Amino acid sequence: MSIISVRDLTKKFGNFTALDGINMEVEEGEIYGFIGPNGAGKTTTLRILLGILKATRGEAKIFGKDAWKDAVEIHRNVAYVPGDVNLWPNLTGGEVIDLFVKLRGSNNKSRREELIERFDLDPSKKCRTYSKGNRQKVALIAAFASDADLYILDEPTSGLDPLMENIFQEYIKLAREEGKSVLLSSHILSEVEKLCDKVSIIREGKIIESGSLEELRHLTRTSMMIQTREPIESLNRLKGVHDIEKRNNTIYFQVDGEELDNVIKYISPFGIIKLESAPPTLEDLFLRHYKGDGGEA
């Protein structure tokens, strides 16, 4: 059974379609990345999963239960960190953490102390004095201090410094070891590449790409730098070759993953002196989609 199962999910705000038929499956023990440009619909999706927004159409299930109707039951095993953590200015961080943990019904004192120490938070300060990063830490500590089966995290590291980001990643890995599932929305690709097993890319309310990192990499282009004894002829007529550039006697270009084999076969007769290839990154894919030519992929 999938932990999260989203089918044909559509959300309209008035006439504006924020989500347009989204599908997504998160399996048990998976760390699932959810990436996309600003306003793509990430937060909207997560809020529907939490039962705070009601879907216009389609189905959103967690643990096999309806995200809207069975919200309370589902939430006993879910930990959530919102993208914008707004806290009560006149409560202290410690009070908020305790409140959050109690409202889920579990209580793990030693975990709480450990987390406060690791994240380097002063729990005796009023929330109004906390910086954005510190407010985020409060939400993260409350999330990790509870024994949830599913973590729903909306850009959880957007305010954290690199040191804290590392600690965050540690706890995510720990959660994975414990067999827990994570849905992580993010803008930070290196983080997604480091942590996630699967990724969905959302743009303008539609999922335009999803799959394991390997599968996605397959869709990306490899950058090549080649020197040959004889000049390569009509490279530009080859399928899957992009952005050809010649400097001195070196050629730079990009190759679609699926055409790599053909291209190498084609150029090797010209006598390769030097060949360098840069691995495909999620960033290339991401940028390509961000720029708006995602439809062709």
Partner 1 sequence: MNKPFANIAQTIKFILRRDRIRIPVWVLSIAIFTILIALMLPNLYTSSMEREIMAETMKNPAIIVMLGPGYGLDNYTDGAMMAHFMLVFTALATGIMGIMLTVRHTREDEEEGRIEMIRSLPVGALSPLTATIIMITIVNIVLTVIVGFGLYSLGFESMDLEGSFLYGASIGVIGIYFAALTGLFAQLSTNSRSTLGYSFTFLIAAYIVRGIGDIEYEILSLISPLGLILRTEVYVSNNWWPVFATLGQSILLFALSLYLNSIRDLGAGFIPARPGRKYASSLLSSPLGLSIRLQRTSIIAWTVGMYVLGVSYGSILGDLEGFLDTSGVLLKMLPESADYSITERFITMLMTILSILGSIPVLLYVLKLKSEEKKARTAHLLARAVSKNSLIGSYTLIGLVAAPITQLMSVLGLWSAAIFVMDNLVSMDILFKSALAHLPAMWIMVGLAVLLIGYLPNLTGLSWLYLGYSFFVVYMGEMLQLPDWMSNLSPFGHIPQIPMEEFSLVKMLVLIAITAILIVAGFVGYNTRDLEG
Ligand X SMILES: Nc1ncnc2c1ncn2[C@@H]1O[C@H](COP(=O)(O)OP(=O)(O)OP(=O)(O)O)[C@@H](O)[C@H]1O
| 50 is an interface residue for ligand X by CB under 6 A | no
- One of 39, 57, 65, 103 touching partner 1 (CB under 8 A): 103
Is 41 or 280 the residue whose CB approaches ligand X more closely? 41
CA distances from 160 to 60, 165, 213, 220, 249 (A): 30, 6, 25, 29, 46
In whole angstroms, how close is the CB of 7 to ligand X at the nearest point? 18
Residues 10-69 within binding reach of partner 1 (CB under 8 A)? 47, 50-54
- One of 7, 23, 71, 147 touching partner 1 (CB under 8 A): 71
201: nearest Cα among 127, 132, 295: 295
Residues 200-239 within binding reach of Mg ion (CB under 5 A)? none
Given Mg ion, ligand X, partner 1, none, residue 124, with its beta carbon under 5 to 8 Å by kind, binds partner 1
Q: At what angle do helices 93-104 and 132-144 cross, to 10 degrees?
A: 30
With CB under 5 A as the rule, give the number of residues binding Mg ion: 2
| 42 is an interface residue for ligand X by CB under 6 A | yes
Q: Using an 8 Å Cβ cutoff, are 201 and 36 in contact?
A: yes
| 84 is an interface residue for ligand X by CB under 6 A | no
| 83 is an interface residue for Mg ion by CB under 5 A | yes
Residues written for the chain: 297
| 86 is an interface residue for ligand X by CB under 6 A | no
Residues with Cβ < 8 Å from 79, sequence gap 6 or more? 104, 142, 143, 144, 146, 148, 150, 151, 152
| 294 is an interface residue for partner 1 by CB under 8 A | no
Residues 206-265 within binding reach of ligand X (CB under 6 A)? none
- One of 40, 67, 141, 172 touching ligand X (CB under 6 A): 40
In whole angstroms, how close is the CB of 286 to ligand X at the nearest point? 13
Task: Give all strands (DSSP E) within the chain, no chain letters.
Answer: 4-13, 16-26, 31-35, 57-62, 65-66, 78-81, 150-154, 181-186, 198-203, 206-212, 221-228, 241-247, 250-256, 272-278
254: nearest Cα among 225, 282, 287, 227: 225
Q: Which residues bind ligand X (CB under 6 A)?
A: 13, 16, 18, 36, 38-44, 83
